[in-house]
Amino acid sequence: MPKILHLITRLDMGGSAQNTLLCCRELAGEYDTVLVHGLARESGMSAAEKSRLEAWKREAEHRGVRFIPIGSLVRRIHPVRDILSLLVLLWHIRRERPEIVHTHTSKAGILGRLAARLAGVPHVVHTPHGHVFSGHFGRLAAGLFLALERFFARFTEKTVALTAGEKRDYVDLGVAPAEDVSVIPSGVELGEFAGERTDAAAQKRTVGFDPQRRQVGFVGWLLAIKGPAYLLNAMGAVWREHPDAELVFVGKGALEKPLRAQAAFAGCSGRVKFLGWRDDIARIMPLFDVFVLPSLNEGMGRVLVEAMAAGRPIVASRAGGIPDLVRHGENGLLVPPGDEAALAAGIALLLRDRGLAQRMGERGRRRCHEFGLPAMIAGLEALYRGLLAPPTEEASEPGRTAPPRPTAPRAGGLRGGTCQPSG
């Protein structure tokens, strides 16, 4: 089988890691699949998260995926470790001799594409899993990352965008020409979310929700880029119209303590729940009356697909790839990023108009399959087949890629009062 070496910096419970594991697991039967990864010490995973991740890895290994950990590979910039990681990567790539190196996320993309270039790998694919050109850093840092991405795009045969919006960004910002960018969604396993909600009150009690209240839910990292503070601030206006509403944060991150403190300071702690990281999102998601994702930037937003599969109406930011999933007025409402008044108005409308909320949820459920796991795997299969196919005289581009090298014969449920700004 042709060999594909995948590379990601952090193998943890994040969406990019889930996407990468699914990609490797599902295609291991067709390709000799190797996944090189860092140890994700920066992720601060709990024992439960580590256990879930190990279960995913065991399942992937059973399918034929080989894992190669690199201790020096970290997400933050660290010159000594980065140089060491580059040398270790170069050694592994030369030893494995893959036909394709597929890098995932920005840091791994820089080191992996450089190592692949130095090793003479025939084909290089990069999936940024959402770019960092806006929302993540200040103007200077964002400009540096954009310059780096433009430079390393020279070593990249194909860039994978998760949505058409993300592709437009790469083309408009001069990162890559349109013909070098493929749109392939970050596939989500939808089966767990497909069931109908029965006896919602009883199910709400099992997860600690008040069945007499309606739940406004958020699932994701509690980080500034995800916008949870905007959601907490917006709930003040929502509570004036809907005092029975309860805000639920599912996830963890650096903002958890500040958000708890803000809720306590504003006197609304009794209306805000923090569930932390959970491995039963498929059980929790259908219990939300409205799902909210107020991100400042998103490559795609896998959790939106899960909300759609669970039949939940959505309020989300008009940012990044989100508008490719949430069609305003059809399966949800889109608001400007960081606009707390618009966020509050959208949530209040869906809590007020239950018929509209139900119709939006049903429409989302009908179209969630566009972003399911089969769609991702079909896209990747087509991409890899196109790269590995013998070049025709008309289609070949001299200097673009090295010719295929002869190689020796080789043996051959993831998933996964009011509150105002405290100043």
Angle at 122 between CA 181 and CA 167, to 5 degrees: 5
Rounded Cα–Cα distance for residues 111 and 376 (Å) = 25
Tokens of 418: 């009011």
174 and 32 share a domain? yes
What confidence category does residue 119 fall into, taking pLDDT thresholds of 50, 70 and 90?
very high
What confidence category does residue 385 fall into, taking pLDDT thresholds of 50, 70 and 90?
very high
Mean pLDDT for all residues in the chain: 89
Interval 122-136 mean pLDDT: 82
Looking up residue 64, the CATH number of its domain turns out to be: 3.40.50.2000
Pick the closest to residue 66 from 4, 146, 113 (CA basis).
4
Range of the domain at 41: 3-187+372-388
What was the pLDDT predicted at 395?
Answer: 47
Interval 266-283 mean pLDDT: 93
Tokens of 390: 């013998």
138 and 259 share a domain? no
On whether residue 406 sits in a domain, the answer given is: no
On whether residue 399 sits in a domain, the answer given is: no
Rounded Cα–Cα distance for residues 155 and 401 (Å) = 9
Rounded Cα–Cα distance for residues 163 and 13 (Å) = 21
On whether residue 394 sits in a domain, the answer given is: no
On whether residue 412 sits in a domain, the answer given is: no
Structure confidence by residue, pLDDT tens digits, 316-373: 999 989 999 999 999 999 999 999 999 999 999 999 999 999 999 999 999 999 999 9
Asked if 126 contacts 159 with a C-beta cutoff of 8 angstroms, the reply is yes
**Among 42-56, 273-287, 323-337, 396-410, whose mean pLDDT is lowest?**
396-410
**Among 76-90, 139-153, 262-276, 402-416, whose mean pLDDT is lowest?**
402-416
Helix ranges restricted to H, 45-182: 47-63, 79-96, 106-119, 139-152, 164-172
Interval 227-246 mean pLDDT: 97
On whether residue 167 sits in a domain, the answer given is: yes
181 and 225 share a domain? no
294 and 319 share a domain? yes
The radius of gyration of the chain from alpha carbons, rounded to an integer in Å, stands at 22
Asked if 375 contacts 186 with a C-beta cutoff of 8 angstroms, the reply is no
11 and 152 share a domain? yes
For 314, the 3-state DSSP assignment is: strand
Q: Which residues pair with 314 in a beta bridge?
A: 291, 332
Residue 401 has pLDDT above 60, yes or no: no
Tokens of 317: 């930011």
Pick the closest to residue 347 from 205, 211, 164, 215 (CA basis).
215
**Global pTM?**
0.86
70 and 198 share a domain? no
Structure confidence by residue, pLDDT tens digits, 307-316: 999 999 999 9
On whether residue 41 sits in a domain, the answer given is: yes
Please, what's the b/e burial string for 8-38 (b: 16 or more CB within 10 A of its CB; e: otherwise)? bbbbbbbbbbbbbbbbbbbbbebbbbbbbbb
155 and 265 share a domain? no
For 219, the 3-state DSSP assignment is: strand
Sheet holding 290-293, edge to edge: 272-276, 245-250, 214-219, 290-293, 314-317, 332-335
On whether residue 51 sits in a domain, the answer given is: yes
219 and 138 share a domain? no
What was the pLDDT predicted at 400?
Answer: 46
On whether residue 215 sits in a domain, the answer given is: yes
What was the pLDDT predicted at 133?
Answer: 65
Residue 399 has pLDDT above 80, yes or no: no
Burial of residue 78 (CB within 10 Å: 0-12, 13-18, 19+) is middle
Asked if 289 contacts 216 with a C-beta cutoff of 8 angstroms, the reply is yes
233 and 140 share a domain? no
Structure confidence by residue, pLDDT tens digits, 1-46: 999 999 999 888 888 999 999 999 999 999 999 999 998 777 778 8
Rounded Cα–Cα distance for residues 76 and 219 (Å) = 24
**Among 17-21, 73-77, 141-145, 357-361, whose mean pLDDT is lowest?**
141-145
262 and 147 share a domain? no
286 and 161 share a domain? no
What percent helix, strand, coil does the chain show, rounded to 5?
Answer: 45, 15, 35
183 and 199 share a domain? no
Of 345 and 105, more confident? 345
What was the pLDDT predicted at 76?
Answer: 80
What was the pLDDT predicted at 40?
Answer: 72
- Total of domains in the chain: 2
What was the pLDDT predicted at 39?
Answer: 84
